[in-house]
Amino acid sequence: MPRLKVAVLFGGRSGEHEVSLVSGASVMGALAERHDVIPVLIDRTGRWLLQGTPGPEGGEPVFLLPSPPDRGALRRLADAAVAARPDVYFPVLHGTFGEDGTVQGLLELAAVPCVGSGAAASAAAMDKELMKALFAAADVPQTPYRVLHGRDEATRERVVAELGLPLFVKPANLGSSVGVSKVKAAAELGPAFDLAFAYDRKIVVEAAVKENRELEVSVLGNDEPEASVPGEIVPDREFYDYDSKYSPQSRTQLRIPAPLEPEVAEEVRRLGVRAFRAVDACGYARVDFLLDRPTGRVLVNEINTIPGFTSISMFPKLWAASGLPYPELLARLVDLALARHAERSRLRTDYRP
């Protein structure tokens, strides 16, 4: 079988730019075993830069026409000549303008195969307000929460009265724990709100599970998704924040598989698939959970449709522990993208009574 040309989109215009650089490098290194990789860096201004060798900067400015007849060609910005013609696009973009359905929408308009979820599922999973509403509709258990579009003293008092303390304050549309604060006293709400609103026009406030274990499961598939063995995060600090996830000095432990009773592990896997279907995800995702220690109740925290792909990321590690090595996992993701694209291509776009 001829080697496919896979364009990897990495970097991006978000607060998770640096994380995407590391994820992208890891993905491209493993993909190169079976496919021809086309590195496309999206810089902080949103420019698409076609690179010969992947790196954090540099490259030739290119663009993608949202036109199916162009067959996904990357064209030079200077003269519109075709610079590359990928067979598949693989977005490894975390956060806004990449994981939120914007890039997926462009790829859908261009009618090219794309690894991962489409525009609607990506947007719904990225926006914690939409995600939580879909979880509620699908009877996915989660912690009590409130969504705020602004704040004043009355709002602050109401949130504390309704949710209690401690609680978490998060931007509605961001990941990697960027802009997230754990609030243990009412006086801390103001700074937490300021930080979250600096990243988004709306924020989510969640009741904390005071005694919890943090669990994760990886999901893979299109219409028949499967869940990996569960893993457990043991943070090296108050909660699993940005530095705990990515700092070289982090002492956070990853337990794979998580030490769980068989029935709890099965519940985590079952709820992971339910959350995946609730947002109509496809391809892959990572689902995060909180296990309430006193009650044993499993609560879904969130779903990530483009989870971290660094060397220490849980998504590939969980599948490796489930019997699917990293290179085979990436090949499977490309195959799933081609299968979903073929399915969409067979759909009618005209009306004939």
Task: Tell me the CATH number at 44.
Answer: 3.40.50.20
Residue-level pLDDT at 186: 86
Residues 152 and 37 in one domain: no
Active-site choice (26, 122, 304, 313): 304
The CB density around residue 195, as the number of other CB atoms within 10 Å, is 17
d(C-alpha 244, C-alpha 176), whole Å: 10
Residues 236 and 324 in one domain: yes
The model's pLDDT over 138-192, given as tens digits with 9 standing for 90+, comes to: 999 999 999 998 777 777 788 889 999 999 999 988 765 778 999 999 889 889 9
Query: CA geometry: angle at 142 spanning 336 and 16, to 5°?
Result: 55
Residue-level pLDDT at 249: 62
Question: Which three-class secondary structure state does DSSP give residue 176?
Answer: coil
**Is 352 part of any domain?**
no
| Global pTM value | 0.91
**Is 349 part of any domain?**
no
The model's pLDDT over 83-136, given as tens digits with 9 standing for 90+, comes to: 999 999 999 999 889 999 999 999 999 999 999 999 999 999 999 999 999 999
Active-site choice (89, 199, 242, 246): 246
Residues 267 and 136 in one domain: yes
Residue-level pLDDT at 242: 53
Active-site choice (116, 213, 308, 313): 308
**Is 120 part of any domain?**
no
**Is 348 part of any domain?**
no
d(C-alpha 276, C-alpha 72), whole Å: 28
Residues 262 and 319 in one domain: yes
- Domain boundary among the residues 188, 207, 226 is at 207
Residues 160 and 236 in one domain: no
Residue-level pLDDT at 271: 98
Active-site choice (214, 216, 232, 302): 302
**Which two tokens mark 180?**
């997230």
Q: What CATH number is attached to the domain comprising 172?
A: 3.30.1490.20
**Is 350 part of any domain?**
no
Clarify whether 246 is annotated catalytic.
Answer: yes
Residue-level pLDDT at 252: 76
Q: Is the pLDDT of residue 74 over 70?
A: yes
The model's pLDDT over 285-337, given as tens digits with 9 standing for 90+, comes to: 999 999 999 999 999 999 999 998 876 789 999 999 999 999 999 999 999 99
Residue 107, φ and ψ in degrees, nearest 5: -65, -35
Clarify whether 57 is annotated catalytic.
Answer: no
Q: What CATH number is attached to the domain comprising 217?
A: 3.30.470.20
Closest listed residue to residue 277, CA positions, set 165, 59, 125: 125
Residues 217 and 324 in one domain: yes
Residues 96 and 198 in one domain: no
Question: Which three-class secondary structure state does DSSP give residue 171?
Answer: strand
Active-site choice (14, 173, 176, 244): 176
Residue-range definition of the domain harbouring residue 33: 5-114
Containing 269, the helix (H) or strand (E) segment is helix 262-278
d(C-alpha 110, C-alpha 9), whole Å: 15
**Is 353 part of any domain?**
no
d(C-alpha 258, C-alpha 186), whole Å: 34
**Is 302 part of any domain?**
yes
Active-site choice (26, 286, 313, 326): 286
Clarify whether 304 is annotated catalytic.
Answer: yes
Sequential DSSP letters for 292-328: ETTT--EEEEEEESS---STT-HHHHHHHHTT--HHH
d(C-alpha 64, C-alpha 347), whole Å: 23
Residues 322 and 228 in one domain: yes
Residue 72, φ and ψ in degrees, nearest 5: 75, 20
The model's pLDDT over 234-258, given as tens digits with 9 standing for 90+, comes to: 876 565 555 455 555 667 788 999 9
Residue 244, φ and ψ in degrees, nearest 5: -65, -30
Question: Which three-class secondary structure state does DSSP give residue 203?
Answer: strand
Domain count along the chain: 3
Active-site choice (100, 200, 232, 288): 288
Residue-level pLDDT at 1: 62
Clarify whether 23 is annotated catalytic.
Answer: no
Clarify whether 286 is annotated catalytic.
Answer: yes
**Which two tokens mark 49?**
């830069």
**Is 119 part of any domain?**
no
Residues 62 and 88 in one domain: yes
- Tell whether omega for the bond before 166 is within 30 degrees of 0, i.e. cis: yes
Residues 26 and 90 in one domain: yes
Asked if residue 322 lies in contact with residue 228, where contact means CB atoms within 8 angstroms, the answer is yes
**Which two tokens mark 74?**
């990357």
Clarify whether 308 is annotated catalytic.
Answer: yes
Residues 228 and 257 in one domain: yes
Q: What does the CA dihedral 282, 286, 287, 292 come to, rounded to 10 degrees? A: 170
Asked if residue 300 lies in contact with residue 141, where contact means CB atoms within 8 angstroms, the answer is yes
Residues 172 and 287 in one domain: no
Active-site choice (16, 87, 99, 241): 16
What share of the chain has pLDDT > 70, as a percent? 94
Residue-level pLDDT at 108: 97
d(C-alpha 116, C-alpha 329), whole Å: 13
> Hey, which bits of the chain come out as E strands?
5-11, 36-42, 48-50, 60-64, 74-76, 82-84, 88-92, 145-148, 167-171, 181-183, 203-207, 212-221, 226-227, 231-234, 253-255, 283-292, 298-304
Mean per-residue pLDDT, 259-263: 96
Asked if residue 74 lies in contact with residue 85, where contact means CB atoms within 8 angstroms, the answer is yes
**Which two tokens mark 344?**
């969409």
